[in-house]
Amino acid sequence: MSEDGRRRHYGAFYGLEELPSGERPRLAVLGNCQAEALRVAVATSEAVDSVRMPPVHELTEPDLPHLERVLAWADVVAGQRVSDGYRGLSIGTAQVRARLRPDARFVPLPNYFSTVLYPEQVLVRHEDEGVLDPPVVPYHDVRRLGRAAGWSGPDELPAEAVRDNAAASLAELERREEDQGSLRISDVVRGVGAAAGWTVDHPGNPVLLALAQRVVDEAVGPGRAVHDPGRTLLGSVLSPLRAEVLDALGLDGRPRPGWVVDGKEMSDEEVAEAHLAFYADHPRVVEVGIEKKGEVLRRLGWSP
């Protein structure tokens, strides 16, 4: 998307359109890519006025006056945890809360991250400029990282490791909710099973809608229901959902052998080929990946 197209996409944020001025409570949702999907889900209740905003990782210094205008407009700001000084900008959670109107409210949001359905899937982030995301999809299969590093282990995910991982992932999500004092989604993730998410950081519609209902209840009180928007939110990437994971967790659901990327089906073998070639050209990614995610690999039965 061009910069001009991006500004039109976020037209109200950038002042190209008027901010909503009706009688309903005014809601801004601040966070990563999950935030806009949640805003769409909340909007189905028709209980609030809201505005589309760029995710925090896209904000730059020139965007800050526009953010200030939206914060001054909002009656309720629902926000995910953001570190103070994130990317050198004053957009951290505490910094945003301090700038709200005295009569405005802040609703802490959980940040969905769950490896329950995808115990092999990891993200590798590092300040080293040589540590890039792989091509096709930014998600690594930790076993491929291991193979590139000379490790060996089972190709199939061990059932006990899958169950242990699921318990640990849910416990970590609950811990973060408690630590941040946020609304809860861990109970929903536990309850909806195979429908919980498309990737480790993209929840499915059932999770988004349940969280959206809790936002509405918190913002305006009970009695206004959210509805399915009629499309898959955060569905740009669908990961393989492995039969051994469903079996180990006793979940109903249809296995997904390959990927769907921007609507295009791709086999896992195609992604593996692209990633292994990428690792050969970017050994620093493998080095950092093993350094950060080696314990995940060990829990899946792999060793150097």
Instruction: Report residue 2's pLDDT band, with 50, 70 and 90 as the boundaries.
Output: confident
Task: Assign residue 61 the CATH number of its domain.
Answer: 3.40.50.12080
Is 91 domain-assigned? yes
In this structure, the answer to whether residues 162 and 268 fall within a common structural domain is yes
Is pLDDT of 220 > 70? Answer: yes
Are 17 and 129 contained in the same domain?
A: no
Mean confidence (pLDDT) of the chain:
95
Per-residue pLDDT averaged across 8-15, rounded? Answer: 90
- Judge whether residue 3 has pLDDT over 80: no
Q: Does the structure show a pLDDT above 70 at 292?
A: yes
Percent of the chain with pLDDT over 70: 100
Over residues 47-58, the mean pLDDT reads 95
| Closest by CA position to 178, among listed 85, 170, 35 | 170
What's the structural domain count of the chain?
2
Q: Taking residues 155-171, what's their average pLDDT?
A: 98
Shared domain check, 159 and 39: no
* Residue 303, beta-bridge partner list: 152
Residue 1 has pLDDT above 80, yes or no: no
CA–CA gap between residue 257 and residue 240 (Å, rounded): 5
Confidence of residue 6 (pLDDT cuts 50, 70, 90): confident
Q: Do 143 and 57 belong to one domain?
A: no
Domain boundary among 83, 109, 135: 109
Largest Cα separation within the chain, whole Å, is 62
User: Which is higher by pLDDT, 2 or 108?
Assistant: 108
pLDDT of res. 216: 97
Give the separation between CA 182 and CA 178, rounded to whole angstroms: 7
**153 and 94, same domain (yes or no):** no
Q: Is the pLDDT of residue 144 over 90?
A: yes
Per-residue pLDDT of 112-137, as tens digits, reads 999 999 999 999 988 888 889 999 99
Tell me, yes or no, whether 251 and 274 share the same domain: yes
Q: Same structural domain for residues 38 and 156?
A: no
pLDDT > 90 fraction of the chain, expressed in percent and rounded: 92
pLDDT at 129: 81
Query: Residue 85 domain-assigned?
Result: yes
228 in a structural domain: no
- Burial class for 29, CB neighbours closer than 10 Å (0-12, 13-18, 19+): buried
User: What average pLDDT score do residues 278-285 get?
Assistant: 96
Please indicate, yes or no, if residue 116 is contained in any of the structural domains: no
Query: Does residue 160 sit in the same domain as residue 278?
Result: yes
Shared-domain flag, residues 36 and 60: yes
Full domain range(s) for residue 166: 121-173+239-300
